Structure formats: structure tokens, C-alpha cells
Structure 1
Amino acid sequence: MKTLSFLFLFVSTAAFPQSLLWKVSGNGLKKPSYLFGTYHILKDSYLNQNPKIKSAYEGAEGVVVETEIDSSAMLSMAMRGLMLDKSLDKLLSASDYKLVADEFKKGTGYDLGLFNQMKPIVTATMLSLAYVQKQSDTLSSFTGLPLDLYFASDGRKRQKTVNALETMEEQMTFLFDHDPVEKQAQQLVEMVKEKDDMHDMSKSVTELYLKQDLQGMWKMNEKTGNSFGNMTYLLDERNLNWMKRLPGLMASRPTFVAVGALHLPGPKGLIELLKKEGYTVEPL
């Protein structure tokens, strides 16, 4: 379940505004910046029906995204995803391995044996993506580039200053190396056994995002996080790291910050962390 939340890799109150776009001002900023919560697999034609988001992005002089693809680091990242001295069929019982293999084949079309020496979190992420894509016809109606990639590539075309909050290596370290592979393997089995809940969540997260319902996404994350293990390192720890960079980036120029939607809400979300630093953060 943590891998699905990673797609959004997303203080809840009854009156929490329904908005994915927030204006950041004050605390010495000469011009406001904007904070936008993305859905990593949503395509950029989504912006055509959201003129406020598009206007905030186009008016900004800088763009900040979570990370950018570094072709020179691709081999290193691929190696980081490998288990050189272990394999999934040895980490799981024969019955659990067959359970996962059958579901993986059904969901992705691939034989699990091809990924036997990949860390289980990689397999879980692939399966999570398959669930999301198959459960929501709405996603297929959007075209173009994934939102995060669009902001980075189009930003450069528009001669905006583009910065990343973390390197590919830092991001993959959070995903691949935080938990031992034994724990990852058991979480993979748990995810498959709870696949009906996964299917329901896959549909719900898309619906909540398109409603711009941050409160709903946060509540779902709290519920699933408690059921499927602690995933605070994917959100809270990275938010704290990002706050070491964001103030300086926003002070240098009006900036459009695009990060996964689940990084915005919650007591350790970017909205609250920015407010604690003295910024005024308002929904648009």
C-alpha cells in the first residue's frame, strides 16, 4: 500500500479547503510562489481544464520538482534495485510466491521470474501502477507527459530556472533501501492478499485527486498507512529535507513548486511546515 501512496507516490479539519494549488507569500518574499500537488501518472492535458494551475505555472520564473531523470545515473539506479545475493523465491514460501506470481502475471502481464532478483519494493510498485491504471478509465482520457516531467521539460523550454529537491539516488534510497528486503517481501505478499482493498483504493485516489480533495486523500493515507505499515519516511522525512531548500529557492525568484499531493497536507506536510516558517499559505 505504501507504494501506491508513493505515486501521490499525498491539519485535517472539517473545513480543510479542497485545493491542490496554494499561494505562498510573506516572510520576506518579494513575489508569491505557488505550491501544487501532483499525481505522478496523470498527463499534462489535465491542466487545460484547470486555468488557475496553468496560470500560476506560466507566471512563475522558476520551477521546482521532486527529482529529474538523470540518464547518467540510470545504470546505478537499476543496480540499486537488484538483490545480488538473494531472490524473491527464496524470501517467500512456495505458496506465497505462487500467490504473488499469479497476481503479478494477471496485473502486469509479466512473469514474476523475470524480476526474481529485483528488490520486492520494485515488484510492488509495478503492481501498484497496474492497479491504478486498470481501475480508472478517467486517467486514460488525459494525454501528454506525466505532470512532473511536463513541468520540468516545458519549464526549460520557457527558459525558467528548473531545480530538483532531491537527486534520483536520494529518492531511490528512500524507496529501495529504507526497509530490509525480507520486510519488503512480506509487505508484497500482504498487498496481494489485500488486493480487493487495493483495487478500491486505486479507484478512490483518482476520484479524490480530481475533486482536489486533499483532506480525503490524507484520511485515506492515514487509514491505509496504519493497516499496511509505517510509510512516514516517504513523506515526513523527505518534507523536512525539502524545507532545507525551499525557502532559498522561493526567495531567489517566484517559483512554482510541483510535488506529490500527499506531501501537502498533515501536521508535517509542506503547507504546515511553510506556515511554521512564517509564510502565508492560502488555497486557490
Structure 2
Amino acid sequence: MKHLKYILVLFVFIGLKSSAQNKATTNSIFWEISGKGIKSSYLFGTYHFAGKSFLDSMKNVNSKLAASDVIVGELLLKDSLLPQKLAPFMLLKDTTLNKVLNESEYKLVADYLKKISGYDLNFLNAMNPTGVQMMMLQFTAPKTIDKDNPALDIYFQDYAQAHKKNIIGLETVEEQGRIMFNGTVERQKERLLDNVKNSEKTKNKATNYINITFNKT
């Protein structure tokens, strides 16, 4: 059987675990996986809001990417139906957000969403609390991406496609949806309210985590 060289790209989700207190070593997000009788593979811990420019200083990643036969991403990002497949996991069943949250809780979340995005919460009234929290993340997460500096996840898969390399999704959209939106609506509500009430603390922790992980300090 042909031995293939893989580069596995995983997403670092800020907030799922505590950030490190000490500065990371130079290659803390890029690891080689090797063993007797197998061809080396590589594991790169990416972040959805970090742009391709981050790789400009990591020649070792670029060289291993070029030498790899297969690129394994978190999801197949070129799936045109990805938003439609994920949408059902983000919606409430038999209720609405203004019924899940009491009046004061709804106002708290609505005011915060308006502050960070300019949008009214009533446009998200069909979403479950985790869906709303994910939407807020789009406006508050530290990011370096723009139209000329695509996100790392997208860049890896675009590179693979342009160089005719095989692309594999580690998870399906449905599998990820079941994981990300797991938990009762009540538990999702608790996490959403905690995120809003501690927004500055959460943002600072996220920024510090990205600075440490991606060596920007």
C-alpha cells in the first residue's frame, strides 16, 4: 500500500479550554507525527480568524505543505451546502429566543449584539442560544483576515485544490453540528449569558491566547 504524507489541520477554538500562562515555544502549533515504517505526517493547529500571512514566517509549514499528498481539514470548506447543513442545528424547536430568555436577559443580549454589530436581536429570534453566541463571535473574535489575506483553513484547502492534492474532511458538517450544539437549551442559555456578562474578560483572554499561541507578543 502506498504510504501517503498527510498534513492535518485542526481548529483551535478559543474559550473551550483555559489559555496557557507561559509563552508557547516556536513550533507549539506545528507537530510532526512519525513512526517506524510510516511516512511522516504533520499536525497544524489553526484558528478560523487567523490569516494566511501568519505562514509567511513559518517556512517549515510551507515546505511540508508542498510535500504532502493529502490535506485533512476540520471540514470540507468547499461544500456549497455547508450553511444549509449547519442551519438546522442552530435553530430552536417549538419556541423562540424571546421565550427562552426572560425580559431582562433578552435586553442584556440585545443591547450587547447591537453594540458589537448594529443588528437587532429579533432577527435571530429563531436561533438557539449557541447559534446566537456563534454569531456574536464573528464580531468579537480577534482576527487578521481580509479579502487579500484568507483564513488559514481556507488557504490550506485552496492550496491543495490548486496543486491537485487530495482533500479530506475530518468531520462531516452534521457530526460537528451535533458536537457544537450539544446540551440543553437551558445550558446553552447559561453559556450565552455568561459570555455577554463577561464579554471584556472573554475578549481579553481570547486575545492573550491568540498572542501566545501564534507568537505575536
Whether these two folds match at TM > 0.5 is yes
- Number of matched residues? 202
Q: Percent identity?
A: 31
Contact 1:44/1:144 (CA < 8 Å) preserved in 2?
A: yes
Q: Give how far 1:41 is off.
A: 1.3
Q: How does 1:1-284 map to 2 (within 5 A)?
A: 6=13, 17-19=25-27, 20-29=29-38, 31-69=39-77, 70-133=79-142, 139=144, 143-176=148-181, 178-211=182-215
Distance 2:45 2:194 in 1: 29
CA shift, 1:16, in A, is 7.5
Secondary structure at 1:106 match in 2: helix
Distance change >3 Å, CA 117–CA 104, structure 1 → 2: same
Provide the aligned C-alpha RMSD in A.
2.7
> Compared with structure 1, are the counterparts of its residues 8 and 189 closer, same or farther at alpha carbon in structure 2 (3 Å cutoff)?
closer
Does the 8 Å CA contact 2:24/2:213 hold for their aligned counterparts? no
The residue matched to 1:183 in structure 2 has which SS?
helix
8 A contact 1:7–1:41 mirrored in 2: no
- Give, in whole Å, the separation in 2 of the partners of 1:22 and 1:105: 41
Over 3 Å counting, the alpha-carbon distance change for 1:115 and 1:42 in structure 2 is: same
Following superposition, the deviation at residue 9 of structure 1 comes to 7.4
- Residues 105, 58 of structure 1: alpha-carbon distance in 2 compared, 3 angstrom cutoff: same
Q: CA deviation at 1:13?
A: 11
Report the TM-score, using the length of structure 2 for normalisation.
Answer: 0.82
Shift of 1:193: 0.9
Cα deviation 1:167-195 (Å, max 9, x = unaligned): 1111111112x111121112111111111
8 A Cα contact 2:51 2:151, kept in partner? yes
* Cα distance, 1:63 vs structure 2: 0.8
Q: Aligned in 2, Cα 1:119/1:22: closer, same or farther, shift over 3 Å?
A: same
Residue 21 of structure 1, CA deviation: 1.2
> Quick one: distance in 2 between partners of 1:127 and 1:149?
21
2:179, 2:73 → 1: CA distance? 17
Name stretches of at least 5 consecutive residues in structure 1 with no aligned partner: 214-284
For 1:13 and 1:199, how far apart are their aligned partners in 2? Answer: 16
Query: CA offset at residue 15 of structure 1?
Result: 11
Partner letter of residue 160 of structure 1? Answer: K
